[in-house]
Amino acid sequence: MQTPNLTPQEIAKIAQALDAYAAQSGNKRILGAKLGSIITLAIRPKQLRELGGMRKVASDALSELLAPLPTTALDPDVAFEVKTRTPHAGTDNLIPNVPTEVAGAALWRLFSNPKLPCALTISPEGAVLAQRVAPDAPEVSGALEGPTTEDYQALAGDFASQEDPPVREKLEATIVVEDFYNSWIAELRALRTPQNNLLKRWETLRSEFVARKLQQALTTAGLDVVRISEIVSTARPLASWRQRPPSDAAKSEVPATRANAVYQAVAPAIDDLAALRKILHGAIDRMSLSELSELRVPAGALIEIAKK
């Protein structure tokens, strides 16, 4: 009997959970027990033993995410180091030559970068497939339409227009250069201050923009709203509020703000209350214990369910 493998979607979920763990704990060292629970949540309803066990999965399918740490007499527990990943390094070399399923951060990188020679299409099963294409090749039928350089220039122009001079003039000067993006990022980094982190604000705005474009492209491709929500939420980089605990003043605002952002991302595809409930059920089934603990549910609803 052949041992099942992790899918790209499952690896993406594990990578996202490892990033969150490292950010929240401030430590890249993770014990085998914790790693096993993360993998188990990501692959449900599969069982970890079906894949050969935690160590086999970590050393094979997750070798790009984890590095084994040596054990000692004082610390005999199995442990791994969460590898630091560079999201944009070597992306061009990761484009497959034949249609291959991509998900999570890999999908986000390929979809959001208009300069990559890559076409993204949808398989009959609803998976996103990536394939390398020649720069002068004809347009691939049914390919997802991602952001263009012109889209980013327009977005940068809108961003710059919100700033006061002389910051606005310095930002606008970088938009008109031929290969503007590197100059734009460098200028945002140079101009940021403790009171006004331009680079962080831009990355937030860009993330919202790319998420909307991906949602629109998947809708055009004919996917259902639950599948679209799963693909977009798994691909999208972790929001900053999930990377570090919010302040006491912001705790009450964070869940509502996040929920509102998710609702706005899928709202165009929602026809009625039943569709919204279907989306919520699908999202809850994929949440970790820490994510579930952040949900706000009316006490009356819990009492009614408990009585049934």
Q: What is the pLDDT of residues 17-68, one digit of tens each?
A: 888 787 767 778 888 888 999 999 888 888 888 888 899 999 888 888 899 9
DSSP 169: H
Give me 70's structure tokens: 């040596």
Q: Of 83-92, 113-122, 166-175, 211-220, give the lowest mean pLDDT range.
A: 83-92
Each residue's pLDDT tens digit, 229-272: 999 998 887 644 333 444 444 334 334 444 444 444 444 444 45
Confidence bin at 287 (pLDDT 50/70/90): low
pLDDT at residue 270, rounded to an integer: 43
pLDDT computed for residue 136 by the predictor: 75
User: Would the pTM count as exceeding 0.75?
Assistant: no
Half-sphere exposure of 235 (CA within 13 A, CB side): 27
Cα–Cα distance for residue pair 65/59, rounded to 1 Å:
9
Pick the residue with more confidence: 109 or 264?
109
Where does residue 219 rank: exposed (0-12), middle (13-18), buried (19+ CB within 10 A)? middle
Determine the pLDDT at residue 84.
Answer: 66
Q: Provide CB contacts within 8 A for 207, sequence distance 6+.
A: 236, 237
pLDDT at 113 over 60: yes
What's residue 1's pLDDT? 36
What's the confidence (pLDDT) of residue 161? 95
Residue-wise pLDDT tens digits, 66-100: 999 887 666 567 889 988 654 444 455 568 888 99
Taking only the tens place, the pLDDT of each residue in 223-236 is 999 999 999 998 88
User: What tokens does 217 get?
Assistant: 């492209």
**pLDDT at residue 210 is higher than 80:** yes
pLDDT value of position 70: 84
Mean pLDDT of 133-159: 90
Angstrom distances, CA of residue 104 to CA of 17, 25, 183, 196: 11, 22, 27, 30
Does a cis peptide bond (omega within 30 degrees of 0) precede residue 147?
Answer: no
Burial 153-192 (b: 16+ CB within 10 A, else e): eebbeebbeebeeebeeebbebbeeeebbebbeebbeebe
